[in-house]
Amino acid sequence: KAGVTQTPRYLIKTRGQQVTLSCSPISGHRSVSWYQQTPGQGLQFLFEYFSETQRNKGNFPGRFSGRQFSNSRSEMNVSTLELGDSALYLCASRTDRGMGYTFGSGTRLTVV
């Protein structure tokens, strides 16, 4: 059974640019959540999608957005990148009724 796949693994962007990260959940998992990990703030919840609908959102500015497709794959987008957006972005998936969140390996974003 394939795990949660995140692409790309590493990314370097310049301030002001935008970036799109991708997440393919485990087959059969319809819930996808995104988290940001930084040394100062730890793991912070970004948003959660289920059946193409955003059900929950964390305290992040509107520059952070996401979407989910009919095959449950999800993307997150960050526009007008700032240096402080440098972080490890993690995606997690689960069945809606299950509580076991499985995380991907993450995308390491560096903004220069």
Partner 1 sequence: DQQVKQNSPSLSVQEGRISILNCDYTNSMFDYFLWYKKYPAEGPTFLISISSIKDKNEDGRFTVFLNKSAKHLSLHIVPSQPGDSAVYFCAANDAGGTSYGKLTFGQGTILTVHP
Residues binding partner 1 (CB under 8 A) = 4, 6, 31-33, 35, 42-45, 47-50, 55-56, 58, 88, 90, 92, 94, 99-106, 108
Rank residues 59 and 70 by Cβ distance to partner 1 and give the closer one.
Answer: 59
Is the distance from CB of 81 to CB of 17 less than 8 angstroms?
Answer: yes
- Measured from the CB atom, is 16 or 61 closer to partner 1? 61
CA gap 98, 19 in Å, rounded: 31
Of 6 and 24, the one with the shorter C-beta distance to partner 1 is 6
- Say if CB 81 and CB 111 are below 8 A apart: yes
> How far is 79 from 65, CA to CA, in rounded Å?
8
- On the 0-12 / 13-18 / 19+ scale of CB atoms within 10 A, 32 is buried
Residues near 42 by beta carbon (within 8 Å), at least 6 away in sequence: none
Would you say 73 or 108 has its CB closer to partner 1? Answer: 108
CB of residue 82 vs partner 1: minimum separation in angstroms? 22
CB of 80 to partner 1, least distance (A): 25
Smallest distance, Å, CB 63 to partner 1? 20
- What is the nearest approach in angstroms of partner 1 to the Cβ of residue 16? 26
